[in-house]
Amino acid sequence: FRRGEALQGLADVQVVVFDKTGTLTLGHPALTDLQPAPGYQAETVLALAAAVEAQSEHPIALAVIDAARAKGLDIDTAEGFEAAVGHGAQAVVGGRRVQIGADRFMASLAIAVEAFAPEAERLAGEAKTPLYVAIDGVLAGLLAVADPIRPTSLAAVRALQAQGLKVALVTGDNAVTARAVADRLGLDEVVAEVLPDGKIAAVEALKAQFGRVAFVGDGINDAPALAAADIGLAMGGGSDIAIESADVVLMRGDPRAVATARALSRAVLANIRQNLIWAFGYNAVLIPVAAGALYPLFGLLLSPMVAAGAMALSSVSVLANALRLRGFKDAASLEGTPA
């Protein structure tokens, strides 16, 4: 917890919003499908796509490159690389203009993708991300990339819902892919096809709908949303920018730690309230006694030594109650293993 307000604020959130890639998923996508258009060879499409993606550092780009290398394909050098954030990328490879990206990228280039629509919908329904490849302005193939869901993501979502929270997903994936992931995890809300600069608007919309929002992310493009949320939580192992923008930093890349952090914040605040009630009540009773309030009725006075001991007992009891937090365990989210 980077500041005290974060410890208090996390206890009051009503909805937890997750970014998908690297947060609920492992962040290591892999190419799962490749279907060339008639007249194109699968190896040619993959090699040209990999040449373009070699200029990018996006996780999906790495998946395409790894697949090409695994097949032993030669990856040429691309020239004139251009990236459209949240859409795709294009470059010239061996004198041929190659474009790769989502359906919205192809639409912006006036390249029709209807021929692959049924296959793309099927792949998206399997929680895979469909990508299109065009060569010289002609649709050349369909790729699909899948980023496995973290084994602990379902437990994390259930633990948060057990705490009475809504759990939402904000992602740049198409709506069908996002819904498939949401259905597997039992999420309450999904906001799909969000560009990096649109995550702030998504967070604001969820604030208006549910109330206080906690946003969980790990990437550079999550930093604005982390700052815009009431409480931002950065996954361990995330980018430095995300960590600097967050109010809470999770020391491990395990989404169950989100539920643990909120449960801990509530436990700390409950402990603070207990200590305040005890301290005020204890002093409200004993200070009048020490001042001689019982002497006229019962002839009872406290010696200075007894009064000093009673005062010390108040501090010791408060400290002992606070130390109970050292044994804090959130069984619902940890399920017997460290989060």
| The pair of three-digit structure tokens given for residue 288, joined into one six-digit string | 């009048």
Q: What angle (nearest 5°) sits at the alpha carbon of residue 143, between those of residues 140 and 147?
A: 165
Strands (E), the chain: 15-19, 30-36, 78-84, 88-93, 96-101, 129-135, 138-146, 166-170, 189-191, 213-217, 231-234, 248-249
Cα 328 from Cα 248, distance rounded (Å): 18
| The pair of three-digit structure tokens given for residue 132, joined into one six-digit string | 């299109």
Residue 29 contacts residue 146 (beta carbons within 8 Å): yes
| The pair of three-digit structure tokens given for residue 175, joined into one six-digit string | 């709506």
DSSP 277-312: HHHHHHHHHHHHHHTTTTHHHH-----HHHHHHHHH
The verdict on whether 19 is a catalytic residue reads yes
Residue for token pair 């030669």: 74
Cα 6 from Cα 320, distance rounded (Å): 24
Contacts of 38 (CB under 8 A, 6+ apart): none
| The pair of three-digit structure tokens given for residue 42, joined into one six-digit string | 């699968």
Q: How many CB atoms lie within 10 A of CB 316?
A: 10
DSSP 70-121: HTT---PPEEEEEEETTTEEEEEETTEEEEEE-HHHHHHTT---GGGHHHHH
Residue for token pair 């792949």: 123
The bridge status of strand 88-93 relative to strand 189-191 is unpaired
Q: What letter represents residue 184's amino acid?
A: R
Catalytic hit among 12, 19, 33, 147: 19
**Which secondary structure element, helix H or strand E, spans residue 122, and what is its range?**
helix 117-125
Cα 238 from Cα 219, distance rounded (Å): 6
Catalytic center residues: 19
